[in-house]
Chains A and B, each alone.
Chain A
Amino acid sequence: MSEGVLIDTVVSIETPEHIVFQHRVAGPARRAMAHLVDLVLCYGAVFVVGVLIAIAALGASSIGAAIDDALKLGVGLLLVLLFAAQWVWFAAWESLRGDTPGKRAFGLRVVTTTGRPIGFTQAALRNLLRAADLLPSAYLAGVVAMAISPRFQRIGDLVAGTLVVADARVARSQQRFALWPPPYPHELAALPTEVVLDADERSAIELFLRRVGALGVAREQELASMIVESFARRHGFQGPILDPVRTLALLYDRAANTGRVDAPPSSRTGLAA
């Protein structure tokens, strides 16, 4: 695979069309949050039923019915619900639609290791084995298994052959790199009409620009100033380089988004293959 895929939270799956696509495997933190949401939802539901039973029992006693029997029936029902919350909730949701309400809230989905939706058997197995993941407490065994497994699989995932992946369902327009603010007239004047960056240069600059704002201003300027001189000279940038980051962004924008000039492939074809 090409570079950028070496990140270990990505798993590649080959389709019958011989296209390899990648799932972003969900990490323990996001899964823990989704799990918390599920716990609140299903035990919250049990709690609500419990309150209703208590109210019904009180109501029954006020009309003189056999409160004892009614209350015992209610407690019996509550015990069954507690059982369902522990053993049925997750397996039922996942076998019906591949996620639970908590997972859905965090954009997580369970798929098989071959990237297909899971069926009943997998949903049952991975949630039965939850009892092993829980040990000795607070999912310690599960976290250890996730740390050892290359694809963040807890014990239940290993047994069922499943993965939890994160869907990137973000609007495309918000995701693409956009030059902001838009180029000023003096910047446009300084820019050459076409900038041809090869693919490696383009992806390197893009990776850098996506992290601008998270690195600290001084560090950003320092990094950009290392390469901006040679880039600007090579591509005929006609102006003073006041802000190295901005200049890189302008060059990138011109190369990636403006016009329709064909770019050469990687300059390091041998390495990238």
Chain B
Amino acid sequence: MKTSAPKESAFVERRRGDWDELEALIHRAPRGLKKIEPLAIARLSPLYRDVCADLARARAAKYSAPLLEYLDTLTASAHALLYGRPTRALATRLDKTERLPVLAAFPRAVRRRWRAVLLASALFFVPMLIGVLVSTLDPTFAFKIVPQAMLEPLTEAYAKGFADGRTSGDGALMAGFYINNNVGIALRCFALGIFGGLGSAIYLVHNGLSIGAILGYVASQGAGGNIVTFIVGHGSLELGAIVLAGGAGLSIGWSVVAPGDKRRVDALQDAARDVVVIVLGAAVMLLMAAAIEAFWSGSSVPTAIKRSVGGALAVLVLAYLGLAGRR
């Protein structure tokens, strides 16, 4: 069978004009179609379909590899420009009729993953309770978990109370530290869940135990009231966010361990897309917690006010996560 295919050079000469035009269009719109005028967009579609046909023709005629590669790249770039971003993204799951769809999507995702969040709470709060109890009874236990060199100055600071307050400079410094440290911990607590959930579990248990040990030790030295006053202000947001990030990590870990009837990688991708809003929500909670911890928790505001505001905030956080966005 003989088919009729022009020589490569003749083919290139004939089609070069269109290719150059398409290439110029693509270069003018590296970030999408918004930057180019309607007339040019109208040109894009026929040029793209022609280059698709050229690619098929060039492959059938087995033209040289560089030409095929060039046409491949041109087709791919034009395809990316014309078809745009995937629509399976976060935005499509948001209900656009609601006033603040993201604010509702976050607690919904948390409730959808309630089993993982419950497990994460247990992995965090049970070791924390153990830490509190054991180091209250035996303060030296705390040294095994948190270095003594860190615990003693901490205890002294809490024993002093908050009469001096904090300077604005201290507040800003600590806010930066909390953002860098705490948000980083939460994000890592999520990411390491990929290893069958083990990374998240270790982070949760370790952080719970450490915080519990500090609480118990400081209490055993007689400054328990002060440290509770300090933590209650931001604790609901901060500890809650770590637990939520850990729950999201356990979710992706579980999808790898038990993918059900999906392929493992598909189950993983579905779970990750489902929980990413939890992780981002937890990060926002931690940013808020950092501001409170830096400028409020250590301030000279009277204890009674601090405790009631902290308690009210905790109720608010739980109510938001439990009730917001219910249909």
Partner of A172 from the list B10, B70, B194, B199 (CB cut-off 8 Å) is B70
The residue on B at minimum CB distance from A165 is: B76
Q: Beyond A114-B86, A175-B70, A177-B64, is A19–B56 a contact (Cβ under 8 Å)? A: yes
Is residue B180 contacting chain A, with contact meaning CB distance below 8 A?
Answer: yes
In the bound complex, do residue A117 and residue B85 qualify as a contact, i.e. CB atoms below 8 Å apart?
yes
Q: Across the interface, which residues of B come within 8 angstroms of A125, CB to CB?
A: 272-273, 276
Smallest Cβ-Cβ distance to A87: which chain B residue: B187
A98 shortest CB reach to chain B, Å = 8
Give every chain A residue within 8 A of B252 (Cβ-Cβ): 159
- Confirm or deny: A73 has a beta carbon within 8 angstroms of a beta carbon on chain B: yes
Determine chain B's interface SS by DSSP, over half rule: helix
Interface range, A side: 35 or more
Check: B3 CB closer than 8 A to any chain A CB.
Answer: yes
Within 8 A of A (CB), among B131-169: 167-169
Q: Is A71 an interface residue (CB 8 A)?
A: yes
| Complex interface: chain B residues within 8 A of A120 (CB) | 89-91
Q: Is the CB of B7 within 8 A of A257?
A: yes
Q: Report if B99 contacts A (CB, 8 A).
A: no
- Checking B63, B170, B269 against A161 with a beta-carbon cut-off of 8 angstroms, the contacting residue is B269
A167 to B23, CA, bound (A): 13
Say yes or no: is B124 at the interface (Cβ < 8 Å to chain A).
no
Q: When A and B form their complex, what is the total count of cross-chain residue pairs whose Cβ atoms lie within 8 Å?
A: 217
| B225 interface residue (CB < 8 Å to A) | no
Q: Is the CB of A83 within 8 A of B70?
A: no
Check A76–B72 contact: CB distance below 8 A. Answer: no
Nearest CB to that of A119 among chain B residues? Answer: B89
A4-B65, A159-B252, A263-B61 known; A97 vs B30 contact (CB < 8 Å): yes
Question: Quick one: given A120-B90, A263-B5, are A82 and B180 in contact (CB under 8 Å)?
Answer: yes
Instruction: Kindly state whether residue B117 has any CB partner on chain A within 8 Å.
Output: no
Contact B6 A262 (CB under 8 A): yes
A266 to B1, CA, bound (A): 10
Question: In the complex, are the beta carbons of B85 and A77 less than 8 A apart?
Answer: no
B188 to chain A: closest residue by CB = A131
User: Which residues of B have CB within 8 Å of A169?
Assistant: 73
Q: Which of B4, B12, B272 contacts A159 (CB 8 A)?
A: B272
Known: A117-B86, A128-B187, A257-B9. 10 other contacts (CB 8 A): A17-B49, A21-B55, A24-B69, A70-B169, A76-B176, A135-B192, A161-B269, A172-B70, A256-B63, A256-B64
Binding site for B on A (CB under 8 A): 2, 4, 13, 15-17, 19, 21-24, 66, 68-73, 75-80, 82-83, 86-87, 96-97, 111-112, 114-122, 124-125, 128-132, 135, 155, 158-161, 165, 167-170, 172, 175-177, 199-200, 202-203, 206-207, 210, 256-266, 269
